[in-house]
Amino acid sequence: MASLSLTQIRTGNSASGFSLNCRGKVQARPCRVGFRVSASENGNNKASSEPDLSVTVNGLKMANPFVIGSGPPGTNYTVMKKAFDEGWGAVIAKTVSLDAAKVINVTPRYARLRAGANGSALGQIIGWENIELISDRPLETMLKEFKQLKEEYPDRILIASIMEEYNKVAWEELIDRVEQTGVDAIEVNFSCPHGMPERKMGAAVGQDCALLEEVCGWINSKATVPVWAKMTPNITDISQPARVALQSGCKGVAAINTIMSVMGINLNTLRPEPCVEGYSTPGGYSAKAVHPIALGKVMSIAKMMKSEFDMDKYSLSGIGGVETGGDAAEFILLGANTVQYFTTHTDLVQRQQEAIRQRKAIKKGLQSDKDWTGDGFVKESESMGLKQRSLS
C-alpha cells in the first residue's frame, strides 16, 4: 500500500493545511474549506521549508493526498475545473450510469442536524441527510466533460465514479465508454444507501459479498485502469466486502459512503425530513457527526489489508466528516493513502450564487435572457433543490 510518510512534514508554515511541529504533533490550520491544498507544476519551485505531500497511489502521481469526492463537487466541468485550479490532488466525478433518464432526483432532498435541539436556528450544523441519487445529466454530456478536463489538465488525476444495474454487458459498455475519455481510474459506487437498490445498484451490491464478487469480476476483467471499490458502512463488518473487492481485482477501496438515516420528524407537520409532498424515505447521513464512525470503519479495513495484502500494490481512501487538516491527518495516520473531501452544502450554495452573479455580469453573446438569469446554470449544476432559505 502506498503511503504518505508524516516524517516528510517538517516544522514551519505549510500550505498543506497541517504541519508537524518539533514534538511531532499534527497541527491543523483553518482556511476556507477547513484545510488548504497546494500544488505546483514544478516541485523545485516550492520553498525548502514546505513539505512534499505528493503521493503515488496505484501508479497515479498526485500532488497531494487530498481528493474531491464523488458528489456535488464533481457534478460538472465547471466545478471539477475549479478543483484542479485550487490544487486538489485528484477529483472524482459524480457517479454516472448508462441511462440517466432512469434517475429522478426530487426536491427538496436534504435535511440538516444542528448541535443542540434539532431544528434550532442557532446551533452549528453537524450532520446532513440526503436522498439524492446519482447524476441525472446525460452520460454523453458527462463523458464530453471528462475528455475536455483531461485535455486541459493532462497531468491531473481524474477519476470516474460509475454505477450500473446487475447486467454484465451494461457494466462492460459503461467502462469502455468512460475509459475512452482518458480518465485515470474508476471508482465503483457499491455503497449509495438509496441508490436504486431495486435494480441491484449501490449498497445492494456492497452488502452482498457473493453479488459483489461477481460484479467486481466483470468490472476488473474489462477495466484497463485502476479500480477502487467504494464501500458502504451499512454493514456489520466492512472488512468483509472490502476483502472481496480486493480479491476480485480492485486495486483500492474507499470508505465510507453515507450512513442510512432518518434525520428527524418535523413536530409541526408530523412529517419526516426531508419531506417531498408529504413523503420521505431513509437517506444517507454525512458531515462532521459521522467522522468517528468513519475512522472506525477505515481502521477495520486498514488492519485487514495490512495483514492479508501486499500494501505496496493496494490503496485505501478515507472518507467521512473531513472538515479540517487534522481530520484528514487522522485518516492518514490510520493507514489511508488519500482522503476524500466533500464541499459543504453551504459552500455549494455560495459558489452557485457567485456563478450566477458572474453570468449576470456578462452582457455579450447571449442567445436569450435565460443565459444570464442563472436558471440555466442551476439546472446544469444539479443544484439539488437546495435553496438558501433552507440554510437559515
In Å, how far from its chain's centre is CA 143? 18
Burial class (CB in 10 A: 0-12, 13-18, 19+), 369: exposed
CA Rg value for the chain:
20
With beta carbons less than 8 A apart as the criterion, state whether 283 and 195 touch: no
What cell does 71 get? 458528489
DSSP assigned state of 86: H
d(CA 208, CA 336): 24
Helix (H, G, I), strand (E, B) or coil at 241: helix
Q: How many other C-beta atoms lie within 10 A of the C-beta of residue 207?
A: 20
Burial class (CB in 10 A: 0-12, 13-18, 19+), 75: buried
Tell me the CA distances in angstroms from 66 to 138, 323, 328, 335, one per residue in order: 28, 12, 8, 14
Q: State the catalytic residue, choosing from 22, 31, 192, 209.
A: 192
Composition of the chain by helix, strand, coil, percent to 5: 35, 20, 45
d(CA 8, CA 376): 46
C-alpha torsion sign, points 189, 192, 194, 197: positive
Beta bridge partners of 161: 187
The secondary element (H helix, E strand) that includes residue 208 is: none
d(CA 72, CA 380): 12
Does 31 participate in catalysis according to the annotation? no
Q: Which residues contact 249 (CB under 8 A, 6 or more apart)?
A: 216, 217, 219, 220, 221, 227
Helix (H, G, I), strand (E, B) or coil at 324: coil
Please give the positions annotated as active site.
192
